[in-house]
Amino acid sequence: MLQFLGNMEARADAKGRIFIPALFRKRLQSGGEEFMVLRKDIFQDCLVLYPGSVWEKELEILRSRLNKWNREQQQIFRQFVLDAERIEMDASGRILIPKRYLQMVSIDTDVRFLGVDETIEIWAKEKLEQPLVDPGEFSAALQQLMANFP
């Protein structure tokens, strides 16, 4: 199982090429991942890189919950895959992020890669300089969520 953890800075060049941090590159290569899928996150203002195997698993889960004979559900599936793009790493460990994706999340040059379990998020650096959740609210929510576990 692929798992990513870390928070690393990088820079996009004028063409939108970014080096994937070495730690994440090694995980992808050791996992035998041949491609990744990029899409804008559904809830946050960031991009998400799915290793190919993780993307295929996510699609399978989504398909299993949707009725292909239901128009609304088919539109949800179409929108999910419409906003996705296959990405491959070059020999130097760089990926090319299409300009439309960079614009969607206001990335200029400075980015942060954030390992989030099976995926890698790409954020505009300044968006992660402040906590995503107020520290007091975070600790209270985590306490409530975990209170009933042994």
Report the CATH number that the domain containing residue 88 is assigned in CATH.
3.40.1550.20
Give the chain's domain count.
1
**So what's the pLDDT on residue 62?**
96
Residue 142 sits in which domain range?
4-146
Residue in the block written with tokens 């060049």: 13
Q: Is the pTM of this model over 0.85?
A: yes
pLDDT in the model for residue 13: 95
Q: What pLDDT was estimated at residue 74?
A: 95
Confidence (pLDDT) at 1: 73
- Residue 7's pLDDT is 95
Q: How far apart are CA 3 and CA 8, in angstroms?
A: 15
Mean pLDDT, the chain cut into blocks of 10 residues (150 residues total): 92 95 94 95 96 96 95 95 94 95 95 97 94 90 87
Question: How do 47-51 and 119-124 pair as beta strands?
Answer: antiparallel
Q: Give the per-residue pLDDT at 130.
A: 85
